[in-house]
Amino acid sequence: MSSLKPLAVAVSGLFALTPALAADLVQKVKPPVSQAYVDLATFSGGMPAMPGGGAAGMLGSLFNKGNGGGNTFGQTQGQSQGRWMDVVLLTRNNTNLKTATQSVPAGSRLAPTLNLLAPEPQPHQAPERNIPDDEPAKFEMPKGKMYLYWGCGTEVRKGQPLVIDFARMDVTQYNKFFQNRGATARVPTPVPGRPAWPNKTDARLLPEGASMAGEHAFAGDGIVDGFKFNIDAAHDLMPAVEATRSDDGKGVLFKWKAMPQATAWFVQAMGMRDTGHGGDNDMELVYWTSSELPDMGMGLVNYQPDSAIEKWRKEKVLLPASATECAAPKEAVGATAMSRVIAYGDELNMAWPPRPKDPKITWEPQWDVKVRRKSVASLMPGMDSMATSAAMSGHGDDVSSGPPAQPAPAQARTPTATDVITQGAVGLLRGVFKK
């Protein structure tokens, strides 16, 4: 019998651990039946909404974001002046959903509903045959250099700038230079079965003074009943960033008005230097960001999840919500540099029914919705401030349900400093990324 005692002790100890193991039980979570994604964006300064042309159109074509004109889906990822909203809806109950409606509050000035529409399926195209050329393709590395400065202050810090010479670039140099933080989640895009707004049947612009605060509801074939939620005033469209830049002999000072809705700030500048050697690719591209750690900022001037914002605030990659200014060395931000100031807004995530507190109960949400917000100001060369009220009033009070009128043909114009900078930057970057 004595030989059984150790076994009995071991078994009793196992049962004694059971409550602790239960505490670590992972709750089973099923995907929501219906989901909606709402992106809200405010852009001030920069390029007005126009058909495809100019610097905004070139950058949009490079990064496949927006189309530079009209209210089409994707303008929240562009840089055209104004206030924009993108909505995508999907449901597991109907993967072929074509249309749906979104009830919106009266303050949106688009009430009572938005008409969501899924794109039509595209005809299948056979892949192109890869016919080899007689001679292998030749790649000519673009001429030029890139410089990266970072941190607030008028003095160039020790170890700066990082320099990359495209003619002599190696992998180690490339990885050291191209540091771009970013945790922007990709939301589902409009495809057959996922209706979205705006679209070809409902391309209304957000009227001046529109507010999304209030009750919203989605309805459609396969959308769960009771898909209703409220956007509170704290998670409404963000106001325009009111920013200025001033240059003196020591450096460049960026200042902006405090914004209660902002959770953090970030400033980025990009400019071109002409080496004087001639040639389209013989240029120098100069970056500066407000981060205390090296970062080009290409991934940061966009929506970021709350967890990433909190992390990067602690690391001083992002400026705190209370910040209202940041200076840069004169070597880092030239007179023709384009600059952007972004105010991040926190996300609004809601689901029904709420998640059970008991981990042993499976969570089966019927619907969930994610609302993301940001406000970005662009300071173009030659502009020491932005007339934000004028930028925001460009939409007028057009609340017609049909698509916008076709724009008039663009007038010929003399290229601006912005065009020259952007064309040089785009050409240089395209050469690099085609490698």
Mean pLDDT of 344-367: 97
400 pLDDT above the threshold of 50 = no
| Residue 22 pLDDT > 80 | no
**pLDDT given at position 249:** 82
Non-local (6+) Cβ contacts of 103 within 8 A are 111, 112, 113, 215, 216, 217, 218, 219
Confidence (pLDDT) at 435: 40
367-379/34-45 β-pairing? parallel
Burial 343-356 (b: 16+ CB within 10 A, else e): bbbbbbebbeeeee
Give the model's pLDDT for residue 188. Answer: 93
At 282 the pLDDT is 65
Instruction: Tell me the pLDDT tens digit for each residue of 159-190.
Output: 999 988 877 766 666 677 777 899 998 889 99
- Mean of the pLDDT values across residues 288-307? 96
Confidence of residue 290 (pLDDT cuts 50, 70, 90): very high
Q: Give the phi and the psi of residue 23 in degrees, each rounded to 5.
A: -65, -25
User: Quick one: pLDDT at residue 324?
Assistant: 98
Residue bearing the bigger pLDDT, 381 or 232: 232
* Residue 413 in this model has a pLDDT that exceeds 80: no
Q: What dihedral angle (degrees, nearest 10) is formed by the CA atoms of 261, 60, 68, 214?
A: -30
Q: What pLDDT, on a 0 to 100 scale, did the predictor assign at position 418? A: 40
Q: How far is CA 420 from the centre of its chain?
A: 25
Per-residue pLDDT band for 399 (boundaries 50, 70, 90) equals very low
Average pLDDT over residues 268-280: 73
Cα–Cα distance measured from residue 289 to residue 347, given in angstroms and rounded to the nearest whole number: 24
pLDDT of residue 250: 87
Residue 76, pLDDT score: 96
Average pLDDT over residues 54-81: 60
336/195: higher pLDDT? 195
pLDDT value, residue 302: 97
Determine the average pLDDT of the residues in 119-145. Answer: 65
Question: What sign does the dihedral 148-153-155-159 (CA atoms) show?
Answer: negative
**Averaged pLDDT, 224-252:** 95
User: Do residues 51 and 39 touch, judged by C-beta distance below 8 A?
Assistant: no
pLDDT of residue 168: 76
Is the pLDDT at 301 greater than 70? The verdict is yes
Please give the residue that has the higher pLDDT: either 316 or 55. Answer: 316
Per the model's pLDDT, the better-predicted residue between 108 and 10 turns out to be 108
Q: Give the pLDDT confidence score for residue 388 in this predicted structure.
A: 39
Percent of residues, the chain, with pLDDT higher than 90 = 59
Q: What is the mean pLDDT of the chain?
A: 79
Domain ranges of the chain: 34-120+140-397+414-433
Higher pLDDT, 140 or 285: 285
Q: Mapping DSSP to helix (H, G, I), strand (E, B) and coil, where does residue 117 land?
A: strand
Higher pLDDT, 289 or 385: 289
Which of 58-72, 189-203, 269-283, 391-405: highest mean pLDDT?
189-203
Look at residue 335 in the predicted model and tell me its pLDDT: 87
Residue 391 has pLDDT above 80, yes or no: no
Q: Is the pLDDT of residue 141 over 70?
A: no
Task: Tell me the pLDDT band of 393, cut-offs 50, 70 and 90.
Answer: very low
